[in-house]
Structure 1
Amino acid sequence: MLFVMKELAGLDDITALPGFEDANFDTAQAILEESAKLCGEVLAPLNVEGDRNPSAWKDGNVTATPGFRDAFRQFSEGGWQGVQHPLDYEGQGLPKL
């Protein structure tokens, strides 16, 4: 992913744009490493549980797969939903690559 971001998406050119000065290679590497931890340690293990106990809709109520509530809490608390959102809206203001 780092190769693609640097060589194909032109990360250095994006870093030169106003407002994206902090969106450099080191930042991208740190974000990818933390994302890999979340995916590998929190999200991926839920695949088996999701197969065994899938979420269900019955009588207007959703029953989520065990573990999904905590995983979404970790996703939200980690700020992952706001990576590309502007700082004015409590996002991280990073470019979409």
Structure 2
Amino acid sequence: GLAMDDQRYLYVTDWIKNEVRRYQLGEKDGTLVAGGNGQGDGLNQLNYPRYLFVDRDHSVYVSDNENHRVMKWVEGAKEGIVVAGGQGQGNALTQLS
């Protein structure tokens, strides 16, 4: 997924590296803003990040597809917060499928 914030930073999900990076226009390497600690279900990990949204405070919300959860990463955080799902795949109120 791709998103751009109000300061024209581009955010990109990388499902192979299980991370989200932020880029200034013209920048090659970017800054890690979510994940980047290998594939997994820890609060500092992602497993097939797919879609994302960036709010006014530059917090990044990521659909962590294979963990069936949505994670929020506050700017500068080393780990995320589960804001939806995270209790496995299913139809219960605490689950996503």
TM bucket normalised to smaller: under 0.3
Structure number with the higher helix fraction is: 1
After TM superposition, the score normalised by the length of structure 2 is 0.23
Structure with greater strand share of residues: 2
Q: Structure 1 length normalisation: TM-score?
A: 0.23
